[in-house]
Structure 1
Amino acid sequence: MKKAFSFLGIAILGGALTLGGYKLLFNDQVVIERTIEKPLQTLQASYNPTLRNTNATEVNTDFTVAAEKTVHAVVHVKNTAVRTQTNPLELFFGNGNGQRKYEQVGTGSGVIISADGYIVTNNHVIDGANDLEITLNNKKKYKAELIGKDAANDLALLKIEADDDLPYIAFANSDNIKIGEWVLAVGNPYNLTSTVTAGIVSAKGRDLEGNRNIESFIQTDAAVNPGNSGGALVNARGELIGINTAISSRTGSFIGYSFAVPSNIAKKIIDDILEYGAVQEAILGININNQGEDIDGVKIESVAEEGGAEKAGLQSGDIITQVNNVKISKYSELRGQLTAKRPGESVNITVNRDGDFITKNVKLSKKDTFVSRAFGIILKDLPKKDLKKYDISKGVKIYKNANKYLDYYGVKEGFIITKINKKEVSNASEATKLLDDASNRNEPVYLEVINLKGERERYAIR
């Protein structure tokens, strides 16, 4: 027994000496740089690819001109974020708070879209950055400023200041691309700068998650890997038709399918950010329900009162088949067309009404309410008068609390959410995505709100 206590005493003494040595060596704050490549979104597609025999015609597959025109306008994006790490040893045996700072570096791609230095990339490439650095193809480096971002469509706009005009890629009309058309993906996969791969357009209007998702991707078989995020998808003339964003993969690397945000959507979002500071989402003023129905188009379940659809004469039961002469077969294609439009614009909507095809001119209105299905609430953009009333620059209102889940925590209808997990929220669309993403990851949500009395409060939702 005495021998056992002796061994125990020696073990405790050794542990104490080890901890003491650790404390002497590592008492000061240490900053470590960790480099990771920003991964592409990896999504499981909700479809089975089918091979079909087609009549092929000979095409020119010399892409040297397109590559030369684009490779100098695609940049390397370096995202440096400062993270905090908790050290349990120092919590128990040190005199500090047990936290140490370290730098985490992510990399991706971006596309120069103007000679004066505007760059479009993916939001997930720059998300959480404390510092952004752009490296051109000629190895010159610049600090970048974040102008604005749209989490819903995973796009962000950056700006660099250069002494000379920069090479850039012109936008093409993504509605005009055809399935089977040759395309190039240009980016920086695995830190291999200025990489060009070729493929064809495999599909358009791909939603990946089912027919109610907002996404409307261009699908290609051009090889796209981690580091390609935010890079260019161009046609054989070297014109921008998309921003590479996601891959469908079980491994995290390319296995045959990649997806890009169409250029028409990217251009509209960039224009909105520059002009308004936030995305202006246009809606028809309809509710749809294609569940369980095998139809070619999008069926209107109901029309909103005083909305553009009702004013134009669209009715419940109409099946939308075209928008401005562009064929609509499913919801994601309709969303893609509307995402590329602004509130106040008018579109020609062709519907199938009991076998008759009717075209109506509909004036689009602005969407200002978004549903968080995870929390059962409807969030609404704040009008300028409320921003001024509460002396805030950003925030969203809880417009409806459908399932009363937040009531349990004391969060009520009419509360204004200013921050979600310490991030300021600019609009209802962004706030909804932050809430639902956190729920999907089974993470707690920390809300900073202004209550009905105008008082600021904080809540932890688990």
Structure 2
Amino acid sequence: MVSCALLSGVMVPSHRAWAQGEAGTEAPAATGPMTTAQEAGAARAAHEAAMMPGFAALTDRLLPAVVNISVSSVIHADEHQPEGPDGSAPAGPQSSPFPPGSPLEKFFHDYLHHRHEDGKPERQVQALGSGFIIDPSGVVVTNNHVIENAQQVSVTLSDGTEYPARIVGRDSKEDLAVLQVTADRPLPSVPLGRSDEARIGDWVLAIGNPFGLSGTVTAGIISSRKRNVDHGLYDDFIQTDAAINHGNSGGPLFNLKGEVIGINTLIYGGSGGDSIGIGFAIPADDARGIIAQLRQRGYVRRGWLGVRYQDVTRTMAEDLSFHKEGDSMGKMWGTGAIVAEVMKDGPAQKAGLQVGDILTALNGQPVTGQTLPRLVAGHEPEEHVRFTLWRRGAYQVVDFTLGKNPEEKDPLPSDTHPPEHAVKTLHDLGLKLGVIDQTARTQYELSDSQRGVLVLRVFDGSPAASRMMAEGNVILQVGEQEVNTPDALQHALDRARELKRTDILLLVQDKEGLRWVPLPLGVTP
């Protein structure tokens, strides 16, 4: 811990401070005449220091808009936990990244985890991530993997104020999520910048909550652009050497204007996933459209071309005599995505695309086999786009109307109300029940894997109300029988009545976890 304090005490002089020193107002007093070499060395040191930015004022402005995201979920003891996005073990009770007995190990377990009772088939697990506010009304952006499978989500501001958060929408393919908190005042926010304007070598700041240590600021540069690390179909990461660790996920990567140019998502690390200066962020220009769709409808609709394609290699370009557009001398080989198959009745076939065509640009933006999926997905179905392509020795332009991938289904129905057959009212218990659809998962913050029957309403004065059941609870079992629909639950109750039982035992999941709830049968509320 001493070394941390020493590191945090390092000060980097700003350009203004050195300018004052040069003017004689704050420069150290000379101890004697300097030689020519000493003068040259001092001048060089002053120039180098003057070129280094100071981040204190910028940090003061940005910190209030960066939040700590706390997620709690219930997992079963025998449930397999997948690896984290950085390849590390999940943040379970036995996954502390710190050496045994170290000062931070106890902090890690006490702060991030709830201990569970021996023999209990499930446990409550907490994890932390980062996020940032993009609208004073309380709109928060983070990674999808931060809030995935969460039963409860809360957001803590830099001043310690904590708010419950509602999941507005999430997208697993781009690994983004949007939350909403309700505050009694406008909240500090930060804007999304233009990541396409960022250059390799530009200074950046990463702010987040590594290992639960809130308000941590690290600085670095953009190490590379357009990185594909096989994380997904739409890889286009910004690589940075700003230190990013567990808990930074979902946090912002800022440029020196104070704009978010990336969302910190992945790290390459050594043992335990520790930062070694290779982190990856989703570019803001890729995220902007996704965030807008999540805010608008809670899910993302992506355009579909209806082709199979390959990246054009140099050898392929030579064999096809494929030259770069505008190269009148024919000395520069072209780049693009070559069509290997045109799917029947797809948008590409309707537009006249042919096998062997090489797509080189979409709405004027250069295309390769690597970038084509991301660029097409950045447009919605039914949107009109224009492709530049190379066909049999000549360039031409073709207009497309993008379609919707038939293999992808909208996670939300057009009608947010469940069909009547999916809703059932049990007057004797005082419950109105429904199915768990995607609308319910978003509204009640249920995980994608949640199963059971959803409680839509509890009537006042009913047996269910007397047992503290509430809207948003989920009934998993009637006795030892699992139920997933209101009809299945009704059938289990009818069976209990046939057996002349006077009460029924329900396994109910609420915000606190699982509990058994006994209810009398045959009582009218």
Cα pair 2:210 2:244 within 8 Å, conserved = yes
Cα pair 2:149 2:449 within 8 Å, conserved = no
**Corresponding residue to 1:213 among 212, 233, 239:** 233
Cα pair 1:216 1:335 within 8 Å, conserved = no
Cα pair 1:187 1:196 within 8 Å, conserved = yes
Whole-Å separation in 2 of the counterparts to 1:290 and 1:77 = 39
Distance 1:357 1:231, change over 3 A: same
TM-score normalised over the length of structure 1? 0.62
Whole-Å separation in 2 of the counterparts to 1:177 and 1:132 = 33
Does 2:146 correspond to 1:125? yes
Matches within 5 A, 1:10-409: 61-85=53-77, 98-209=119-230, 213-251=233-271, 252-290=273-311, 296-331=335-370, 333-369=371-407, 391=422, 394=437
Segment of structure 1 superposing worse, 107-116 or 69-78:
69-78
Whole-Å separation in 1 of the counterparts to 2:337 and 2:295 = 32
Provide the secondary structure at the position in 1 that maps to 2:269.
coil
Whole-Å separation in 2 of the counterparts to 1:305 and 1:271 = 32
CA shift for structure 1 position 73:
0.8
CA shift for structure 1 position 381:
7.1
Q: Deviations over 1:225-276 (max 9, x none)?
A: 1110000012221111221111122421111211112223322222222322
Cα pair 2:155 2:165 within 8 Å, conserved = yes
Whole-Å separation in 1 of the counterparts to 2:142 and 2:230 = 22
Whole-Å separation in 1 of the counterparts to 2:289 and 2:219 = 26
Whole-Å separation in 1 of the counterparts to 2:412 and 2:163 = 36
Distance 1:352 1:183, change over 3 A: farther
Segment of structure 1 superposing worse, 201-210 or 230-239:
201-210
Amino acid paired to 2:265: T
Cα pair 2:312 2:368 within 8 Å, conserved = no
Residue 97 (structure 2) aligns with: none
CA shift for structure 1 position 76:
0.5
Provide the secondary structure at the position in 2 that maps to 1:369.
coil
Cα pair 1:82 1:101 within 8 Å, conserved = yes
Distance 1:383 1:169, change over 3 A: closer
Q: Deviations over 1:123-152 (max 9, x none)?
A: 111122222221101111111111221122
Provide the secondary structure at the position in 2 that maps to 1:186.
strand
Provide the secondary structure at the position in 1 that maps to 2:277.
coil
Whole-Å separation in 2 of the counterparts to 1:351 and 1:62 = 47
Larger radius of gyration: 2
Cα pair 1:344 1:363 within 8 Å, conserved = yes
Provide the secondary structure at the position in 2 that maps to 1:213.
coil
Whole-Å separation in 1 of the counterparts to 2:316 and 2:203 = 31
Distance 1:82 1:281, change over 3 A: same
Whole-Å separation in 2 of the counterparts to 1:112 and 1:135 = 11
CA shift for structure 1 position 59:
7.0
Whole-Å separation in 2 of the counterparts to 1:263 and 1:177 = 10
Q: Deviations over 1:434-455 (max 9, x none)?
A: xxxxxxxxxxxx9x89xxxxxx
Residue 21 (structure 1) aligns with: none
Provide the secondary structure at the position in 2 that maps to 1:178.
coil
Structure 1: segments with no counterpart, 5+ residues: 1-57, 87-95, 371-378, 396-418, 425-445, 450-462
CA shift for structure 1 position 330:
3.7
CA shift for structure 1 position 162:
0.9
Identity of aligned residues (%): 35
Residue 38 (structure 2) aligns with: none
CA shift for structure 1 position 115:
0.4
Distance 1:358 1:390, change over 3 A: farther
Cα pair 1:205 1:336 within 8 Å, conserved = no
Amino acid paired to 1:298: A
Structure 2: segments with no counterpart, 5+ residues: 1-49, 79-116, 318-334, 423-434, 439-446, 453-481, 486-525
Provide the secondary structure at the position in 2 that maps to 1:113.
strand
Whole-Å separation in 2 of the counterparts to 1:420 and 1:188 = 26
Cα pair 1:71 1:194 within 8 Å, conserved = yes
Whole-Å separation in 2 of the counterparts to 1:152 and 1:266 = 11
Provide the secondary structure at the position in 1 that maps to 2:159.
coil
Provide the secondary structure at the position in 2 that maps to 1:76.
strand
Whole-Å separation in 1 of the counterparts to 2:354 and 2:420 = 40
Amino acid paired to 2:349: E
Provide the secondary structure at the position in 2 that maps to 1:164.
coil
Q: Deviations over 1:295-349 (max 9, x none)?
A: 6322211223443333444322122222233333342x22232333222333332
Provide the secondary structure at the position in 1 that maps to 2:293.
helix
CA shift for structure 1 position 98:
4.5
Q: How many residues align?
A: 330
Q: Deviations over 1:157-195 (max 9, x none)?
A: 111111111111111233333333322211111222222
Cα pair 1:207 1:213 within 8 Å, conserved = no
Distance 1:201 1:294, change over 3 A: farther
Whole-Å separation in 2 of the counterparts to 1:350 and 1:334 = 13
CA shift for structure 1 position 66:
4.0
Amino acid paired to 1:315: Q
Whole-Å separation in 2 of the counterparts to 1:131 and 1:215 = 29
CA shift for structure 1 position 60:
6.9
CA shift for structure 1 position 421:
5.0
Cα pair 1:70 1:238 within 8 Å, conserved = yes
CA shift for structure 1 position 209:
1.9
Whole-Å separation in 1 of the counterparts to 2:406 and 2:55 = 44
Amino acid paired to 1:362: F
CA shift for structure 1 position 102:
3.2
